[in-house]
Amino acid sequence: MEPKYIERLVGKYCKIVIKEPGEKKGTVRIGLIENINYLDNSITVEIKEGENIVCVDNIIAIRSVQ
C-alpha cells in the first residue's frame, strides 16, 4: 500500500482489514490512526484495547469511517 494514501488518514477513524502471514482470514480493526513510521513500515492505531502497531504490508483494505 502506498504511504501517500495512508497519510491522508492520519487523525481519522478508519476501518482496517489486516491479514497476518499464515492466517486464512483477515481481521477487522476500527480505530484512530495516530502515526506512520516509514522506517519500520508500520502504522500506530488507537483501538479500544489500547494501541496496536500494524505492518503496512499486512493491510488488505483501509477506509475512513467518519
pLDDT tens digit string along 22-54?
Answer: 999 999 999 999 999 989 889 999 998 888 899
Contact residues for 40 (Cβ-Cβ < 8 A; gap 6+): 55
pLDDT grade for 64, boundaries at 50, 70 and 90: very high
Does the structure show a pLDDT above 70 at 59?
A: yes
The residue range of the domain holding 15 is 3-40+48-64
Tell me the one-letter amino acid at 41: N
pLDDT at position 6: 81
Q: Which residues, 6 or more positions from 22, have their beta carbon under 8 angstroms from its beta carbon?
A: none
pLDDT of the residue at 13: 94
What's the pTM? Answer: 0.81
pLDDT, residue 49, reads 86
Domain count, the chain: 1
